Amino acid sequence: MGKKAQRKRSVKAVKEFKHVWSPAPSVAAAVDAVAAQVRAAAMTKGWAALGTPWDSFTKRYPTVADAIAAAEDTGALTCFAVDDWGEYERGVRRGPDGWSYEVTLYPCAQLRDLVKTCWLSADDRDQAVEQLRRALEGYVPAALRRPEIEVVHRPSTTVMPRIGWTQRLPVTGLETWEDVHLAEKDLPLHDLATAAAGDLDGQRYTSTVLARTVALFRSHGLSAQACAGCGMAVTDRHPHWPGVWTAVDREFGPTCDRSRLARTESEQRVGHVVEEADARPAQALTGQEPTVVCRNCGAQVSDQHPDWPGTWAGAGRHSDPVCAVAGSMGGDDAGEYDLLDCVYPHVPEGADSPAAAAIAAARQARYFLQH
């Protein structure tokens, strides 16, 4: 199994693990304490365990001076590399005081999803970048704030902004990447890795966005929303699902498992709701509704399902508006970080869909891979 697949499985396993243990807070607290130790161990050995992008980078540029020479024209040369618990960009950058080694930590898990949904929901997305920058400054626990850690906006591979916490080291005295490793490993930036991986509720990680984080993002003018049914960050302005509350993860999209309300996942997925009062039980088609075929997956779909009015959803027993055709599971780590999501709507044969153009564009950008 490749590293990426392992990471995906690891993320999924942690999520499932949290679901399993969530009904028993005292047990969960103990389990989360162990999980925190595992995370700390993973961070400690993180450099050696970093994936191939960084290995390739340091092979291609064997010394710091080689990387700086290659970056002479552009002013920066960086490498995005993911380990099991953090998403980092490392490299060299020219600033007012000359060249420095720079390491940037990006939000992951539900915190990254909150950044994405806030940006998608914004009326003014340029302004939202600055609002997000400030929200991520405010997100850092007071005890971990340092003047030398900045929140920066860096180029991304898609329209989605890439915003993270960064710290720099002067390159004076840094010749080899081992020198860099030794100089970097105790940077206060790394203390943020736990927070960057998502919300902590006391000692416990949650797989949801906490109300206090939603409130923080709103206090910076952002339209932050979390689903009352499952706690995921949601937006109703996703280009593939306009007007439908949608998560931007790799799996759920516009579907909710109601795990926050029921404490266990519902077998039948329903729509996300931002008000708990709107969380009705799942409904069903009568079987009399007209159906058409999805042009991408071949399923029979209807836009008259009571759980998904106006949205094309599968007409089978467990109706689902997520097309069976997978979104991108490929691309490099850098591209994957910037993806909007990896689930797509059904697009009916012979009928129009607001998602069709977005899917065509995504396919052109190689973010929609058909099998």
Rule CB under 5 A: say whether 297 interacts with Zn ion.
yes
Identify which of residues 39 and 346 has a Cβ nearer to Zn ion in the complex.
Answer: 346
C-alpha angle with apex 146: 208 to 91, nearest 5 degrees? 85
Please enumerate in sequence order all residues whose Cβ is within 8 A of that of 34, keeping only pairs 6 or more positions apart, or say none: none
Pairwise CA distance, residues 227 & 231, whole Å: 5
Beta bridge partners of 168: 102
Pairwise CA distance, residues 179 & 169, whole Å: 11
CA contacts within 13 A on the Cβ side of 243:
7
Q: Which of 193, 230, 343, 359 binds Zn ion (CB under 5 A)?
A: 230
Identify which of residues 87 and 257 has a Cβ nearer to Zn ion in the complex.
Answer: 257
Q: Which of 50, 109, 122, 256 binds Zn ion (CB under 5 A)?
A: 256
Give first-to-last CA distance, the chain, whole Å: 20
Find the binding residues for Zn ion in span 316-345 (CB under 5 A).
Answer: 323
Question: Measured over all CA atoms, what is the biggest interatomic distance in the chain, rounded to whole angstroms?
Answer: 75
Shortest Cβ 226–Zn ion spacing (Å): 8
69-86 burial, b at 16+ Cβ within 10 Å, e below that, comes to eebeeeeebbbbbbbbbb
Scanning 53-61, 186-194, 205-213, 253-261 for contacts with Zn ion by CB under 5 A, the matching segment is: 253-261
For 58, list phi and psi in degrees, rounded to 5.
Answer: -75, -20
Identify which of residues 51 and 348 has a Cβ nearer to Zn ion in the complex.
Answer: 348
Shortest Cβ 265–Zn ion spacing (Å): 11
Shortest Cβ 365–Zn ion spacing (Å): 20
Shortest Cβ 292–Zn ion spacing (Å): 11
Q: Which of 113, 192, 346, 353 binds Zn ion (CB under 5 A)?
A: 346
CB 114 within 8 A of CB 37: no
Pairwise CA distance, residues 311 & 321, whole Å: 7
Shortest Cβ 353–Zn ion spacing (Å): 10
Identify which of residues 63 and 304 has a Cβ nearer to Zn ion in the complex.
Answer: 304
Q: Which of 93, 162, 220, 272 binds Zn ion (CB under 5 A)?
A: 272
Q: Which of 207, 225, 296, 302 binds Zn ion (CB under 5 A)?
A: 296
Rule CB under 5 A: say whether 229 interacts with Zn ion.
yes
Pairwise CA distance, residues 179 & 18, whole Å: 38
Scanning 72-80, 160-168, 211-219, 264-272 for contacts with Zn ion by CB under 5 A, the matching segment is: 264-272
Shortest Cβ 199–Zn ion spacing (Å): 16
CB 348 within 8 A of CB 295: yes
Identify which of residues 6 and 264 has a Cβ nearer to Zn ion in the complex.
Answer: 264
Q: Which of 294, 322, 334, 342 binds Zn ion (CB under 5 A)?
A: 294
Rule CB under 5 A: say whether 233 interacts with Zn ion.
no
Identify which of residues 74 and 370 has a Cβ nearer to Zn ion in the complex.
Answer: 370
366: left (phi over 0), alpha (psi -120 to 50) or beta: left
Identify which of residues 103 and 244 has a Cβ nearer to Zn ion in the complex.
Answer: 244
Number of residues in contact with Zn ion under rule CB under 5 A:
10
Scanning 48-56, 76-84, 197-205, 219-227 for contacts with Zn ion by CB under 5 A, the matching segment is: 219-227
Q: Within the chain, where are the H helices?
A: 3-21, 25-44, 46-49, 52-60, 64-70, 109-121, 125-139, 177-184, 193-196, 211-219, 259-262, 333-338, 355-364
Rule CB under 5 A: say whether 227 interacts with Zn ion.
yes
Which amino acid does the sequence have at 269? R
Pairwise CA distance, residues 129 & 127, whole Å: 5
Identify which of residues 28 and 294 has a Cβ nearer to Zn ion in the complex.
Answer: 294
Identify which of residues 188 and 316 has a Cβ nearer to Zn ion in the complex.
Answer: 316
Rule CB under 5 A: say whether 226 interacts with Zn ion.
no
Footprint of Zn ion (CB under 5 A) = 227, 229-230, 256, 272, 294, 296-297, 323, 346
